[in-house]
Amino acid sequence: MSGLPDAFNDPEDSQLVVDAKKSIPEPFEFGYTERDVILYNLGIGATEKELQWTYEGHDNFAALPTFGVIPQFAASSGVPLGWLPNFNPAKLLHGEQYLSIKGPIPTEGELVSETRLLEVLDKGKAASVTTIVYTKDKATGDVIFENQVTVFIRGAGGFGGKRAGSDRGAANAVNAPPKRKPDAVVEEKTSPSQAALYRLSGDYNPLHIYPEFAAMGGFDQPILHGLCFMGFAGKHVLKTYGAYKDIKVRFAGVVYPGETLVTEMWKEGNRVIFTTKAKERGTTVLAAAAVTLADGDAKPKL
């Protein structure tokens, strides 16, 4: 077998997937400064009034928790998928994102991300591929973030093997909202320039800035990055219920820069289940979403 830890091997995998899991990408190094933290925070809607997120001299200057998706981005998006049948990168959709925050987030540092294929599912007409990324402090080796990234590739199924995913706990929980009114709701309007700003944190896909490229994808205009509006929603939960140690979302729809995001939240024990909608179109854009609170007994902050 491949020599990978048992967690990455699965007896249900087809030989194609077994072989793909043997390929281990090189560790990806990511260095950043306070400027990068501020740029990210601004990219998900932090303002000049929120100095703890936008002024490096503030006593409580910090990265917003969803910054944890940034150091791993190039590592997870660089995993080769050409071994899938009929692989076409234009048919790839970002399906779900799970971020676990393992320690204090440095406001500057040198990090290293190690990436593996975690789970590959044959959905018949599509493939579902989940990659796991451990991001460590380069100097100490301490894990700061774990990300699990699930993408769907239309037209790339039919290779055999697993069809249903394993239970990965919070990383792929269903997170169905309770049948009651939300316990809290936060609305926030994005800027027409939101995608132009957010892309400077590392996702330069022209889908988010170049109208002609967006049109080729079937969109009337460039769309907002999924990880950007995930960051907005994560900020809404943070401001309402306080710090959390993990966050999981499913990307259920698109957001156009300038639209208003509405995050509805339900507190269930130490978890906050939430959904996010684009107000102008009444469209759900984040579903099956939740955080695990760092302090389960925390009271709402609003």
Domains of the chain: 6-163 (3.10.129.10), 184-293 (3.10.129.10)
Q: Which of 266, 265, 230, 262 is nearest to 249 (CA)?
A: 230
Catalytic annotation present for 208: yes
Catalytic annotation present for 203: yes
**pLDDT score, position 267:** 98
Whole-number Å distance between alpha carbons of 9 and 120: 11
Q: Which residues pair with 287 in a beta bridge?
A: 250
DSSP string, 206-259: GGGT-HHHHHHTT-SS----HHHHHHHHHHHHHHHH--EEEEEEEE-S---TTP
Catalytic option among 38, 132, 144, 223: 223
Catalytic annotation present for 226: yes
Catalytic option among 13, 36, 122, 203: 203
Helix, strand, or coil (residue 37): helix
Whole-number Å distance between alpha carbons of 58 and 51: 6
Catalytic option among 45, 157, 226, 234: 226
Catalytic option among 101, 122, 144, 208: 208
In tens digits, the chain (302 residues) has pLDDT values of 233 455 688 889 999 999 999 989 999 999 999 999 999 999 999 999 999 999 999 999 999 999 999 999 999 988 999 999 999 888 889 999 999 999 999 999 999 999 999 999 999 999 999 999 999 999 999 999 999 999 999 999 999 889 999 999 999 999 999 999 999 999 999 999 999 999 999 999 999 999 999 998 889 999 999 999 999 999 999 999 999 999 999 999 999 999 999 999 999 999 999 999 999 999 999 999 999 999 865 454 44
**pLDDT score, position 217:** 83
- Phi, psi (rounded to 5 degrees) for 53: -110, -10
CA pseudo-torsion sign 187, 191, 289, 157 = positive
Catalytic annotation present for 236: no
The C-alpha angle with vertex 22 and arms to 16 and 23, in degrees rounded to 5, equals 100
Whole-number Å distance between alpha carbons of 69 and 293: 18
Whole-number Å distance between alpha carbons of 132 and 146: 7
Cβ-Cβ contacts under 8 Å for 146 (sequence gap 6 or more): 98, 99, 100, 102, 132, 133, 134, 135
